[in-house]
Structure 1
Amino acid sequence: MTGRQKLVLALLLGAQFMIAVDFSILNVALPVVGAGLGFTLASLQWIATAFALAAAGFTLLFGRIADLVGRKRLFLVGMAVLGLSSALGGFAASPEMLLIARVLQGLATAAVTPAGLALLTTAFKEGPLRERALGLNGALMSAGFTAGAILGGLLTDLLSWRWAFLVNVPVAALVVALAPSVIADSRPMERPRLDVPGAVTVTGGLLLLVYGLTQAGESGWTNPATMAALVAGAVLLVGFWFVEKRSAAPLVPVRVMKRRGVVWGNVAGLVAFVTETSLVFLLTLYLQKVLGYSPLATGLAFGVLGVGTVLGGTLGGRVVGRFGARATIVGGGVVQAAATLSLVALGASGSWIWLLLAATFVGGVGNMLMIVGFMVAATSGLPDSEQGMATGLATMTQQVGITLGIPVMSAVVIARTAALGETGPAAVLSGVSLAVLVNAALVLAGALLAGTFLAPRRDGAGTGR
């Protein structure tokens, strides 16, 4: 890399790391935030849901807008909104004010993430440099999820939950100040029209799908509101396919949605994010409900997972360059599945923490290999003019995966404890063990599907057409 490329990489990775921290920094602090602003127990989940709805629902739309108005411009606007909304959240004096801040943070995330990734993929040509850059991006994003949990606990214990918001402000200001002179803009030679019907159907479908998933975690999968939202979301997303087939300027061309690299790369990415984020949730239940760990100690225990993901991301680009995306996804998935499966042996004794630490480290390496392979597969073979759309799809996969995992695994735990007729540590351990088994099976199935349907390596990316 040239010196300028390293500076561009540092700036874009710093922004993506900040976005990743935002996903998890409030998880540990939610009860304290609720008590400080007067949220009821039932409404507390909306602090996370408001962010997830906006972040997942508008990602694909903003990814395409980045192609239309310029990735650099959207990136800068998104970072500015993220800084201002974080300040609003830090000084919030009511639940309504905080929820507005969270929606704005989610919208900013939906703009910054695909625009930043598109700037990254266009700054580095397809091949070893791009694979290395995407590997580092994946490593820092995954590390950001872990760092967010640790940082949230530290800031809440030592200062105030408000610093979980305010810490973003100087970082956003620095990025906005430096990016104009460092990052080169990229956009298509000809500005295509925005596909309004496609934008309405896909955004509405994603909003309803994410809302249904979050409600499922709170009210159950058979709740009428949950089922209505999921069915309506599915109908709109199916409608999106037919709208795109007939559109003169589609939001996502059908030919792109038919590419094996895009389709099966995103399937592998969805599985990777569903399983790893939900595994953190399951192990949080185990550490706090079975072993009696504090929130801060729980966050620190996941530091080992963060080290594993950073290592996996650092190695990911080299592994893809040598073996191809398909082999990287399969190998990473098998490693993650084996590490996750070993967690079924966890018991009620504190000595089992060593198994947890070892398994999460190894699983973190495997998960990050899978994620790097997914990012390379999902963005390779497409021209620079479509990188915003491709990274928007990949980011949407990430957001939906993060949102989907916890309700699914929570439902498994709840069903198991209900069958046992108790909610004590032994019942929680049994529920967690069953959910961990399901988690490992999902990882293995996703890796094998990608291995079956992705084309074998023909060049550096190994994604096929």
Structure 2
Amino acid sequence: MAIDSLPRTSPPDTFPAPAAAGMTLRAKLILMVLCAAQFIVALDFSILNVALPVLGDDLGMSQADLQWAVTAFALPSGGFLLFFGRIADLYGRRRLFLSGLALFTVASVLATLAWDPASFLAGRALQGLGAAVIVPTGMSLLTTTFAEGPQRERALGISGTLMSLGFTIGMVLGGVMTDSLGWRSTMGVLAVAGAGVLLAAPGLLTESRRAERPRLDVPGAVTVTGGLLALIYALSTAAQRGFGGPDVIVTLGAGVLLLVAFAVVESRAAEPLVSLPMLRRPTVAWGNLAGLVTFAMMTTVVFLLTLYLQEVLELSPVRTGLVFGVQGVLAALAGMTAPRVIARFGARNTLVAGMLTQAVFTAALLGLGVDSGAWLALTAVSLGCVGHLWAIVAYGVTATSGLPDGEQGLATGLVTSSQQVGITIGIPLLSALASADIAARREGGAGFAAATLGGIKLGLGVDAAIVAVVAVLVAVGLRRARATRP
């Protein structure tokens, strides 16, 4: 049955039939709606970054408190992903998706109209909670709507491209809008975009949920959500104050202990939130590890390069935006070609090749200089992003292939958790490392530009090494799994 012929609401115990090999007009519209929602969330991760100093002056927030403008969004958006992914499986993906969009849109209005720090941070936290609903439910709707194979690979390619573009465009758009319209416009555009998607979605999306309704794994939900919240808080705070603070040490330890407790709870639960047998599937485990690393490390490259271009080379926001604009064009092309590359070489080979390409061109950035390097930055980050987009699409295909529709919510919850946690932890982790190195170099007598460049290079070198090592591990792990498959 084609998507055009689907009823607007499916029976509660069924799933929408997969679309035919060629996408119909209705299928394309559904894909546009789902990808637009993912794009808006990715945009929200970065659009406020360059507006923070202006925002702080306007609302009376101290420099030390500005980190909460980012952390207030990151905590709920990363912490509640798995929980809402399972809730959607049980009570309806369409219903939760629309609820998440409504919450995100209202929260964006609150953040736009904020009259003091408390109201602004409340809006940001509610935006994050809405994002935690939108992302897993949107991905579940995508993978249950589009049939496994070329059609789903194409849909995942477009979705992954727009998520990566959203983060990049957010940094450029945020600077332009703040300079011309003020910081409130960065939140206002999210409200307008969210309202647009919310108006279009109900007439296109069909309901889907699991046929049976097992009990919600409350202990698992509490431990995994608490663990992710504590971990994200610790890393975000460490980026500002270092890893030596008592609150960082305590919350980091609590996060690790809660995630260990989560694993114990899931191994004993009759109806677990996360199926450990699923996590033992090599494609799911290695695919999600690759996704987490490729997202974490590429967003870190963009962050460190922004620091380099503006702080070391002293380029204007507009010229900095041009660098990432070229990256955005190549990212779009890479996302469109990724399904063909996967069809030709396979998801595993594409995933490994994409990660290694990302690692090589990140390492090339070690050639940046104090007086010149803009062209190297433009070339390396753009070509590295081609590999990054191939890896994004390939890991999504790898981690969701071969699973029944009833497990797609869980599988896509893991995929989107990898994306969101990766975006959340990469920047604070390596920026904390870079900041510590910059401070040490300044104490040693180095000038501002030289010290900053040294810290950035350290962060980039560690970034490239992590991607390369994980790429090799993924290649070996997936090859062994294929060799032992009966």
Task: Work out whether residues 380 and 463 of structure 1, in 8 Å CA contact, stay in contact via their aligned partners in 2.
Answer: no
How far is the alpha carbon of 1:456 from its aligned partner?
7.5
Is 1:259 the counterpart of 2:259? The answer is no
Residue matched to 2:457: 433
1:297/1:342 CA distance change after superposition, 3 Å: same
Residue matched to 2:262: 240
Range moving further from structure 2, 256-265 or 98-107: 256-265
Is 1:327 the counterpart of 2:344? The answer is no
Task: Work out whether residues 319 and 328 of structure 1, in 8 Å CA contact, stay in contact via their aligned partners in 2.
Answer: yes
Find the aligned partners of 2:54 and 2:318 in 1 and give their Cα distance: 13
- Which residue of 406, 427, 432 corresponds with 2:427? 406
Matches within 5 A, 1:292-371: 292-350=314-372, 352-371=373-392
Matches within 5 A, 1:51-450: 51-350=73-372, 352-420=373-441, 421=444, 422=446, 424-450=448-474
Tell me the secondary structure at the aligned position of residue 43 of structure 1. helix
Find the aligned partners of 1:28 and 1:281 in 2 and give their Cα distance: 11
Tell me the secondary structure at the aligned position of residue 201 of structure 2. helix
Find the aligned partners of 1:235 and 1:457 in 2 and give their Cα distance: 30
Deviation string 1:84-127 (CA, Å, 9 cap, x unpaired) is: 11011111101000000000000000000010010000111111
Task: Work out whether residues 261 and 463 of structure 1, in 8 Å CA contact, stay in contact via their aligned partners in 2.
Answer: no
Task: Work out whether residues 358 and 467 of structure 2, in 8 Å CA contact, stay in contact via their aligned partners in 1.
Answer: yes
Task: Work out whether residues 333 and 443 of structure 1, in 8 Å CA contact, stay in contact via their aligned partners in 2.
Answer: yes
How far is the alpha carbon of 1:457 from its aligned partner?
9.8
Task: Work out whether residues 417 and 423 of structure 1, in 8 Å CA contact, stay in contact via their aligned partners in 2.
Answer: no
Tell me the secondary structure at the aligned position of residue 302 of structure 1. helix
Q: Any stretches of 5+ residues in structure 2 without a counterpart?
A: 1-22
Deviation string 1:139-172 (CA, Å, 9 cap, x unpaired) is: 0111111111111111111112111111122322
Find the aligned partners of 2:439 and 2:41 in 1 and give their Cα distance: 37
Letter of the 1:20 partner, please give it: A
Find the aligned partners of 2:303 and 2:183 in 1 and give their Cα distance: 21
Find the aligned partners of 1:8 and 1:58 in 2 and give their Cα distance: 25
Identity %: 53
How far is the alpha carbon of 1:237 from its aligned partner?
0.5
Tell me the secondary structure at the aligned position of residue 454 of structure 1. helix
Find the aligned partners of 1:455 and 1:373 in 2 and give their Cα distance: 15
Deviation string 1:286-345 (CA, Å, 9 cap, x unpaired) is: 111210123343233211221222122111222222222210111001111111111111
Range moving further from structure 2, 199-208 or 318-327: 318-327
Give the root-mean-square deviation of aligned CA atoms. 1.7
How far is the alpha carbon of 1:413 from its aligned partner?
1.7
Task: Work out whether residues 168 and 302 of structure 2, in 8 Å CA contact, stay in contact via their aligned partners in 1.
Answer: no
Range moving further from structure 2, 158-167 or 71-80: 158-167
Letter of the 1:177 partner, please give it: L
1:88/1:308 CA distance change after superposition, 3 Å: same
TM-score (normalizing by structure 1): 0.96
How far is the alpha carbon of 1:52 from its aligned partner?
0.2
Task: Work out whether residues 29 and 156 of structure 1, in 8 Å CA contact, stay in contact via their aligned partners in 2.
Answer: yes
Task: Work out whether residues 304 and 360 of structure 1, in 8 Å CA contact, stay in contact via their aligned partners in 2.
Answer: no
Find the aligned partners of 2:35 and 2:436 in 1 and give their Cα distance: 40
Tell me the secondary structure at the aligned position of residue 192 of structure 1. coil
TM-score (normalizing by structure 2): 0.92
Letter of the 1:426 partner, please give it: A
Tell me the secondary structure at the aligned position of residue 45 of structure 1. helix
Letter of the 1:316 partner, please give it: A
1:109/1:442 CA distance change after superposition, 3 Å: same
1:169/1:98 CA distance change after superposition, 3 Å: same
Find the aligned partners of 1:244 and 1:440 in 2 and give their Cα distance: 34
- Which residue of 42, 47, 68 corresponds with 1:46? 68
Find the aligned partners of 1:464 and 1:68 in 2 and give their Cα distance: 32
Letter of the 2:243 partner, please give it: W
Task: Work out whether residues 216 and 271 of structure 2, in 8 Å CA contact, stay in contact via their aligned partners in 1.
Answer: yes
- Which residue of 31, 40, 55 corresponds with 1:18? 40
Letter of the 2:211 partner, please give it: M
Letter of the 2:395 partner, please give it: F
Letter of the 2:391 partner, please give it: M
Letter of the 1:259 partner, please give it: R
Q: Any stretches of 5+ residues in structure 1 without a counterpart?
A: none
Residue matched to 2:9: none
Find the aligned partners of 1:380 and 1:392 in 2 and give their Cα distance: 14
Residue-pair matches, total:
461
Deviation string 1:244-288 (CA, Å, 9 cap, x unpaired) is: 111111101111111111111111011101111111111112111
Find the aligned partners of 2:65 and 2:191 in 1 and give their Cα distance: 26
Task: Work out whether residues 154 and 339 of structure 2, in 8 Å CA contact, stay in contact via their aligned partners in 1.
Answer: yes
